[in-house]
């Protein structure tokens, strides 16, 4: 199985609390059961829960390496490739890595890895988050998850920020954000 060319890009996107990390962990675990080697990566800036782990809001967890920026993902993969061929690379919270991530994904896919990218498609203003606009054309399989609108119960595609902060990226959890449908979503300033 080690020399099999798996080269493909999968995207899992949606608002907060739509089950993105849960879906990612499910794909990683089923790949592992089939004997594939996997590497999960998350941005260093995400300090919400445990370091070196992907953790869902419901407490599921899986081991992860950290990368400061998109270029460092290549470094992390390279370090492990010396001793082990990494077949599946999962990147969580992709919106932290910006546009640069699309080039990194293209490189990893061309090297034969199955790359799974997870993140928020829209920011707190309702604008599309890089790297998704540049990733979508490269994707072989895109899964758009929806949440349940916290106000009306309809399908939520947006993440409503409940705390006052003008920064585009703020790390938070339950209580700081809500899933909202397009009607109930009020873009932050």
Cite the active site residues: 93
Q: Which residue from 50, 152, 163, 171 is in contact with Zn ion, where contact means CB under 5 A?
A: 152
**Per DSSP, what are the bridge partners of residue 128?**
122
Backbone φ and ψ for 100, nearest 5 degrees, come out as: -55, -25
Judged by beta carbon, residue 69 or residue 154, the one nearer Zn ion is 154
Q: How far is the CB of 43 from Zn ion (least distance, A)?
A: 29
What is the closest distance, in whole angstroms, from the C-beta atom of residue 159 to Zn ion in the complex?
13
Candidate list 74, 80, 146, 151; residue touching Zn ion; CB under 5 A: 151
Q: Say whether residue 184 binds Zn ion (CB under 5 A).
A: yes
Q: Under a CB-based contact definition with an 8 Å cutoff, are residues 7 and 109 in contact?
A: yes
Rounded-to-integer distance, Cα 43 and Cα 65, Å: 9
Say whether residue 182 binds Zn ion (CB under 5 A). no
CB of 181 to Zn ion, least distance (A): 3
Q: Where are the alpha helices (DSSP H) in the chain?
A: 20-33, 70-81, 100-110, 132-135
Q: Is 181 one of the binding residues for Zn ion (CB under 5 A)?
A: yes
User: Which stretch, 6-14, 104-112, 132-140, 145-153, contacts Zn ion (CB under 5 A)?
Assistant: 145-153
Q: Which of 53, 45, 35, 25 is nearest to 116 (CA)?
A: 25
Neighbours of 142 (CB within 10 A): 15
Q: Which residues bind Zn ion (CB under 5 A)?
A: 149, 151-152, 154, 181, 184
């Amino acid at each position: 199985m080690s020399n099999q060319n798996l080269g493909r890009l999968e995207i899992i996107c949606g608002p907060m609390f739509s089950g993105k990390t849960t879906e990612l962990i499910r794909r990683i675990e089923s790949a592992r059961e089939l004997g594939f080697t996997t590497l999960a990566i998350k941005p260093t800036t995400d300090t919400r829960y445990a370091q070196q782990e992907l953790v869902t809001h419901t407490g599921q967890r899986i081991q992860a390496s950290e990368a400061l920026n998109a270029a460092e993902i290549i470094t992390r993969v390279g370090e492990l490739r010396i001793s082990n061929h990494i077949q599946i690379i999962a990147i969580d919270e992709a919106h932290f890595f910006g546009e640069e991530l699309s080039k990194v994904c293209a490189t990893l896919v061309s090297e034969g890895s199955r790359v799974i990218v997870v993140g928020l498609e829209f920011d707190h203003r309702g604008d599309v988050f890089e790297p998704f606009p540049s990733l979508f054309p490269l994707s072989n399989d895109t899964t758009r998850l929806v949440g349940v609108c916290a106000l009306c119960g309809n399908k939520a595609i947006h993440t409503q920020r409940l705390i006052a902060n003008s920064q585009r990226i703020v790390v938070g959890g339950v209580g700081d954000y809500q899933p909202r449908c397009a009607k109930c979503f009020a873009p932050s300033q």
